[in-house]
A and B are shown apart, each in its own frame.
Chain A
Amino acid sequence: MRDVAIIGVGLTKFGELWDVSFRQMMMEAGARAIEDAGIDGKQIDAMYVGNMSSGQFIRQEHISSIVADHAGLVPIPSTRVEGACASGGLALRQAVIAVASGIHDIIVAGGIEKMTDVLTGQATGALATAADQEWEVFVGATFPGLYALMARRHMYEFGTTEEQMAMVAVKNHHNACFNTCAQYKTEITVEDVLKSPPVTSPIKLLDCSPITDGAACVILAPAEKARKFTDTPIMVAGTGQASDTIALHGRSSLTSLRATIEAARTAYKIAGVKPDDIDLVEVHDCFTIAEIMAIEDLGFCKKGEGGKMTEQGETVIGGRIPVNTSGGLKGKGHPVGATGIAQAVEIVQQLRGEAGKRQSDGAEIGLTHNVGGSGGTAVVHVLRRGD
């Protein structure tokens, strides 16, 4: 297997992009990544596109063809990858595997979701299809509701507080203020979060990531060729993916995502690193409780201490291990299919030292953590600065 490097990244603005179409977003992110990599489109061998639900959001399936077509890249192989909100992370992993195997050299891994072409109720209904339709959604579960069930149990088992969850949102909004692509560039307070309207107790509006339009791309190349294109290749040191029951009630733990633990175990092993070696992470904070559970399951603190770790400021930029320097899903926005790729874009920019006001100094190794549904899929990547 060959080592794989990321040689270019590109991101659209994240937010409610009323005047931008699905096709236009994808082209914008792709063009930026190609420009960043300094390659020519002709050099691209294949593409993988992460997308959760174009069928429900824009009534268009078969988007792999649309993307290749509009990029002017037909007839290269183009494949859509779907794993709910982990679609982007899975697309990256598929691209990494394809380059590592030697089948392709230069690959674009993209992710995209156009979510605002439907009304909010339809969008939340579409997101709920990531849960078990027969035995969760049919009985009245909503997507935030499933995370609320985890949050309530986490509070019960470990004493995690609503204030600690609110601190995740406060931090991520703060970080997003320094990210030009972020949806929310506004500071909020713990009190703002606690006083925001109830969505599904104990989750309140400001505990939730928003509905977002956005696209992201990274360009991959074999490590041995990467230096031809860039002085700062970022190595994909480890990749891990795991599955779990689609329904939350099917799992023995309601306070931990086994898929995260297993995916991280694999990624750490391949990369030859331990949690202690990681300098910064982008985790899947679709709800504030999700970030608290993620930093526990990824091994940055003991189980049950994610709330305390957040409260003690260990996850802020400059803290022991900065979490979601980009603003995370909460502050930067969560265009579901794009999120996994956008996380890699952030880590690449941080490792290159290009993150501006949100730069985490001296970062050598970073990690991305992308979750599908309530934890039925998780994918983890360890990225490292090229020597």
Chain B
Amino acid sequence: MAVPRFWREIPNRYNLVGARCGNCNKVLFPPRYICPHCRRMGKLEPYRLKRRGKVLTYTVVHAAANGFEDQAPYVLAIVELEDGPRLTAQVTDCNTDEIKIGDEVEIVFRRMGEDGQDGVIYYGFKARRV
């Protein structure tokens, strides 16, 4: 991922900054620029989501995504955050036989990858069972 593309979303990736619509009060994450419910009537303001949620579904990835080979096998999940939105996240510090649907997780700050040995390091969010 190009540096500017990563950089402009650092608050979202580091701190789960999404948006809240002043019109319908819905919390949105990942970030959006128009409230999908209110559209032009929406009034989006930045909103930092709480770093807690639970696992809705998961998979143990054996055939890793490009750049994730060193971590295989790893756990990937869809997490429903306490604030409502769902996100896809790797479940870190998790043995592949530990995970189950309904597990409570916290969102933590981890290394996501790097642009080769010479490039920048990407940081962002992962889930960790609590």
Contacts and interface: CB of A to CB of B under 8 A. Distances in A.
B101 A140 contact: no
A249 B86 contact: yes
Interface in B19-53: 30
A140 B61 contact: yes
A148 interface: yes
A201 B75 CA distance: 9
A138 interface: yes
A197 B62 CA distance: 9
A197 B88 CA distance: 24
Interface string B86-101: 1111100000000001
Contact of B122 (A136, A138, A151, A202): A138
A274 B60 CA distance: 39
Contacts of A148: 59, 61
A335 interface: no
A141 B74 CA distance: 10
Interface in A32-91: none
Interface residues of A, number: 35
B59 A145 contact: yes
A247 interface: yes
Given A134-B30, A135-B87, A248-B78, A140 B68 contact: yes
A257 to B, nearest CB: 15
B57 A150 contact: yes
B74 A152 contact: no
A43 to B, nearest CB: 45
B63 interface: yes
A145 B126 CA distance: 16
A254 B74 contact: no
Contact of B63 (A149, A153, A199): A199
- Secondary structure dominating the interface of B: strand
B120 interface: no
B17 interface: no
A137 interface: yes
A149 B59 contact: yes
A148 B90 CA distance: 14
A144 interface: yes
A128 interface: yes
A249 B87 contact: yes
Contacts of B1: 133, 138
A141 B65 CA distance: 6
B124 A149 contact: no
Given A140-B74, A142-B63, A142-B64, A152 B88 contact: no
Given A199-B63, A203-B59, 9 more contacts: A134-B9, A138-B1, A139-B89, A142-B61, A149-B76, A152-B58, A152-B59, A198-B62, A200-B59
Interface of B: 1, 9, 30, 56-66, 68, 71, 73-74, 76-78, 86-90, 101, 112-113, 122, 124-126
Interface of A: 121, 124-125, 128, 133-142, 144-145, 148-153, 156, 197-203, 247-250, 254
